[in-house]
Amino acid sequence: MDFLSYQSVPAILKENAQRYAKRTAVSFKKQGVFLSLTFEEFYERVLLLARGLLKVGVKRGDPVCIFSENRLGWAISDFGIQSAGGIPVPIYATNTGKQAAYIINHCEAKIVFVSTKAQYEKLLEVRDEIPGVELVISYERFMGDRSFPVYTQYQLSEVGTLLSVEDTGQIEAIIEQITQDDLITIIYTSGTTGVPKGVMLTQYNVMSNAQIGLHHLGVLGDKETFLSFLPLSHVLERTAGYYATLLSGQHVAFAEDVKKVMENMVEVQPTWMVSVPRLFEKIYSRVHEGAHQLSPLRRSIFHRALKVGREYATKKYVNGQADSLLALQYRLFDRLVFRKIRDRFGGRLRGFICGGAPLDRTINEFMWAIGLPVYNGYGLTETSPALTLSNRDYIRFDSVGKALAQTELKLAEDGELLVKGPQVMQGYFKSKDKTVETFADGWLKTGDIARIDEEGFVYIVDRKKEIIVTAGGKNIAPQPIENELKLDKYISQAIVFGDRKPYLVALLTTNLERVIDWSREQDLDYLDIYELIKSTKVRHLFSERIAALNKGLPPYATIKDFALIPREFTIEGGELTPTLKLKRKEIYEKYKDMVDDMYLKKGNGLVFQTTSRDGEKK
């Protein structure tokens, strides 16, 4: 299907409502059971909402905010707003009231959709700061404050009142007026540094990126099921896992919650998912933890299978070589080991699309070895998002693939990746200065340091602003070191510091299950986890693990000291963005005393720190 033969995303949905009328479009969980809507039913719900929005005065070009996690209501709101001529402006469900107020005021939205009472209460707390909001619409029914009334999406849609021919004609006339140059959305960056900027993307930006990306991937069947769990507020999930899926007549199932993704994978049995590296890190860890519990014989079979799987994946997909004996061995281990692993994730997965951050080579190779291919890609909110993507015909486990069709890439003198293409944004909303700063002679500056090999494979080194320059003048990319640290079975997350300092230090979150298992083997006595990770033996364990990593690094890039944190970095804790990227500035501020103390001790490896239950240094 040629998306660009249509003028807009709503126009394609209208066509699909006829072409795939009885095919399942979306699934969602309600009262413990997954329910679904066909394309025909979904389109009707979109038209009903568009009718309601027109009645309350939404006009062409009006911004309307969506403050919600992924769910059916989000999708209906998105298409309904567009079909009424408005511009959907998403707000991350994890944002605070003040963060939401900034976006609402900056885009001048008069209407805000919320998912739950909790989101509504965030707005209620900042009611005086959002005087322009005239209407709040919720996906769930609850009592609002008299001073700030709230209505349900069902009420606004007047679900009990059938669409008349006039209603449908009015809305579809508006859909026909939407052009490829019209804005499909304004997405505010998640704000790892500074104030969020509103990225203006057009219908053409997103439709072209979805179409070119699907063609580049080239492995989708006629009926696929995508499980959606990354925030639809982020352009990666929205374009790759949502628009591309629905526009091509496929099925999107919304996960209940990020924490229930593994459970939902078994229930939904998806064929495809879009994810960030954190999911694959967890799969890698979970599989290895399971292998650790096996009998010596079965553990030996697992490691032998993995060795054969890695060799098979490298020969077949990276080198393009056929090896019949190796293929026979792989099929045997696939029946004995890998198929059982895949069954734990639904059993039908054909592949993942990965973005948001570079995926570690070891983990990517592991995923391909067990028969769960990960197609690594790279992009930005400002590029709708994809710029590069892997393909089954050309894979490098440490690369983000090759440039998409019609996408031009080049490197600046300092190694920053510069891009041009149909997916590049129109600019930042109400911020001409920031827009000008982001372009150089028509090329978008990505802010990422990269390298491109002779075959066209792109490798992302790190964020330009996150490159560490030590006191000795050495430039060090922290992300590859952090990825190596996270591969250790006792380490869950890692962040490296050292900018303008004489050496590198690291904050490590512990894999508590593994550490507790190890403590039992060592017969350690402790009252709680905080006392456990303060023990000299645990300190020595981690010192040994860091020392082993350091052997593979040049002296100036070795970790000279570390501190342990007994809990993971989280979105709620303010350490991660909604797309699970580390907030380096916030983490440093939160654990500043711990980091600074490691330098006061001059990196002698004797420092040991942990945190208390409330996050204070101990």
CATH number at residue 93: 3.40.50.12780
d(CA 283, CA 305): 17
601 has a pLDDT exceeding 90: no
pLDDT for residue 608: 38
d(CA 129, CA 145): 16
Average pLDDT of span 136-157: 95
Q: Which residues contact 143 (CB under 8 A, 6 or more apart)?
A: none
Determine which of 50-59, 145-154, 360-369, 572-581 has the lowest per-residue pLDDT on average: 572-581
Yes or no: say if 402 and 218 are a contact pair by the CB < 8 Å rule. no
Q: How many CB atoms lie within 10 A of CB 565?
A: 23
Angle between helices 512-521 and 277-292 (to 10 degrees): 20
Q: Which two tokens stand for residue 341?
A: 């692993």
What DSSP letter does each residue of 282-342 carry, written as one string? HHHHHHHHHHHTS-HHHHHHHHHHHHHHHHHHIIIIIS----HHHHHHHHHHIIIIIHHHH
358 has a pLDDT exceeding 90: no
22 occurs within a structural domain: yes
Cβ neighbourhood burial of 338 (10 Å; 0-12, 13-18, 19+): buried
Phi then psi for residue 126, to 5 deg, are: -115, 25
pLDDT for residue 391: 92
CATH number for the domain including 522? 3.30.300.30
Confidence at 611, pLDDT banded by 50, 70, 90: very low
Q: Which two tokens stand for residue 125?
A: 């707390």
Q: Which of 453, 446, 511, 450 is nearest to 479 (CA)?
A: 450
Secondary structure of residue 161 in the 3-state scheme: coil
Number of structural domains, the chain? 2
pTM above 0.75, yes or no: yes
257 occurs within a structural domain: yes
In this predicted model, what pLDDT tens digit does every residue of 27-82 receive, in sequence order?
999 989 999 999 999 999 999 999 999 999 999 999 999 999 999 999 999 999 99
More confident residue, 384 or 465: 384
Residue 606 φ/ψ region, left for φ over 0, alpha for ψ in the -120 to 50 degree band, beta for the rest: alpha
Domain end residue (candidates: 208, 239, 272): 272
Confidence at 194, pLDDT banded by 50, 70, 90: low
pLDDT for residue 384: 98
Confidence at 190, pLDDT banded by 50, 70, 90: low
373 occurs within a structural domain: no
Q: Which two tokens stand for residue 85?
A: 């001529």
3-state percent helix, strand, coil for the chain, nearest multiple of 5: 40, 20, 35
Quote the domain boundaries for residue 7: 3-178+219-272
In the sheet with 559-565, reading across from the earlier edge strand, the strands are: 491-497, 504-510, 559-565
Domain end residue (candidates: 239, 272, 305): 272
**Beta strands 87-91; 63-67: pairing state:** parallel
Average pLDDT of span 289-306: 93
116 occurs within a structural domain: yes
Phi then psi for residue 39, to 5 deg, are: -60, -40
320 occurs within a structural domain: no
d(CA 378, CA 357): 7
d(CA 203, CA 159): 28
pLDDT for residue 613: 42
pLDDT for residue 616: 43
357 has a pLDDT exceeding 90: no
Torsion of CA 77, 80, 85, 90, to 10 degrees: 20
Confidence at 610, pLDDT banded by 50, 70, 90: very low
Q: Is the peptide bond before 385 cis (omega within 30 degrees of 0)?
A: yes
Site of tokens 């962040």: 495
618 has a pLDDT exceeding 70: no
552 occurs within a structural domain: yes
Average pLDDT of span 584-608: 78
pLDDT for residue 526: 86
d(CA 372, CA 349): 7
Q: What 3 state SS string does 225-292 have?
A: EEEECCCCCCHHHHHHHHHHHHHCCCEEEECCCHHHHHHHHHHHCCCEEEECHHHHHHHHHHHHHHHH
147 occurs within a structural domain: yes
Q: Count CA atoms closer than 13 A to 2's CA, side-chain side.
A: 4
Q: Which helix (H) or strand (E) holds 475?
A: strand 475-476
588 occurs within a structural domain: yes
